[in-house]
Structure 1
Amino acid sequence: MSVSLKEIGLAVKRLQWRHHREANRRLSTKVGLSLVQWDVLRHLHEQPEATLHTLAELTFQTDQSMGALAKRMIERGLLKRADGPGRATRHELTAEGRRGYEAGSAILESVLAESVGALSEAERDVLHELLIKAAHAPPR
């Protein structure tokens, strides 16, 4: 008997929920960040030229909610505004933002190690390949 598509979808969602819940809990208590804040720091670390619109897309937010989040992160000293090309405003990590990103990265690594880290390297490779394949499958 094969596993239904619904059961697979639910298993993916449960794993995602486990990661989000535990990452939020640890980030909040150990670093004082939410998962969404850490994700913004991560994306700015990886793509320093990212616009707010790009950050909104990468963090699954609307432009409006990303703008409000960026404002709060500036007020907390995690981000700063910087001049961009033309009239554009970019955002950069502050020293505090870099520390939050680095501390949060270790926390996320530990959360993931407790779940997908329990798989063998070969199993992780297959899981990654299958998730990428499913994510890029054309809609029917």
Structure 2
Amino acid sequence: MLNHLQLTPIQQLGRAVKQTQYRQHRALENALAAAGTTLAQWDALRAIARTPGASSHDLAVATFQTDQAFGTLANRLVAQGLIERRAGEGRRIEHYLNKQGEHILANGNDLANQVLADKFAALNATEQKQLLKLLTRLIESDKTDE
């Protein structure tokens, strides 16, 4: 009989993915602080840069946040002078990076690339591609969170 305190192999896999993500996020938070931003802010800037004019809801989905949490974050980004919000059709509010936001995003991207290269350095390029392929397959096979 399996000891109820012992992790099964599938639980070990889930925990390893979570530990990897946690350590990556901690390292990114620390590095991004040097660029004057946070992981959540940098992620929002990336999402806005990828889809200029996107709505708050679309950006919330893209950054794994609730609409309310993204709205609060967007207000902070406006107050910091990193993004602009403009009226769109109907009640839609569109989001755009400004020059300061583009600068913070570029610095954050450089720092993130360094952190991620360090975090994945234990895997060679082929292993990194394989891991990405496997994780992508898992993401594409599970559409329950959309």
Same fold (TM over 0.5): yes
TM-score (normalised: structure 1):
0.90
Unaligned runs of 5+ in 2: 1-7
Q: Within 2, Cα distance between the matches of 1:26 and 1:40?
A: 16
Task: Tell me the matched-pair count.
Answer: 136
| 1:25 CA displacement | 1.0
The amino acid that maps onto 1:130 is L
| 1:138 CA displacement | 4.4
| 1:117 CA displacement | 3.6
| 1:87 CA displacement | 3.9
Match of 1:67 in 2: 71
Match of 2:16 in 1: 11
Q: Identity across aligned pairs (percent)?
A: 37
The amino acid that maps onto 1:23 is L
| 1:59 CA displacement | 1.1
| 2:103 is the alignment partner of 1:102 | no
Q: Within 2, Cα distance between the matches of 1:97 and 1:24?
A: 17
Further displaced range: 110-119 or 91-100: 110-119
Q: Within 1, Cα distance between the matches of 2:110 and 2:142?
A: 35
| 2:50 is the alignment partner of 1:46 | yes
Q: Within 1, Cα distance between the matches of 2:121 and 2:53?
A: 32
Q: Within 1, Cα distance between the matches of 2:68 and 2:128?
A: 36
- Indicate which of 119, 125, 130 corresponds to 1:126: 130
Q: Within 2, Cα distance between the matches of 1:105 and 1:54?
A: 22
Unaligned runs of 5+ in 1: none
Secondary structure class of the residue paired with 2:37: coil
Match of 2:27 in 1: 22
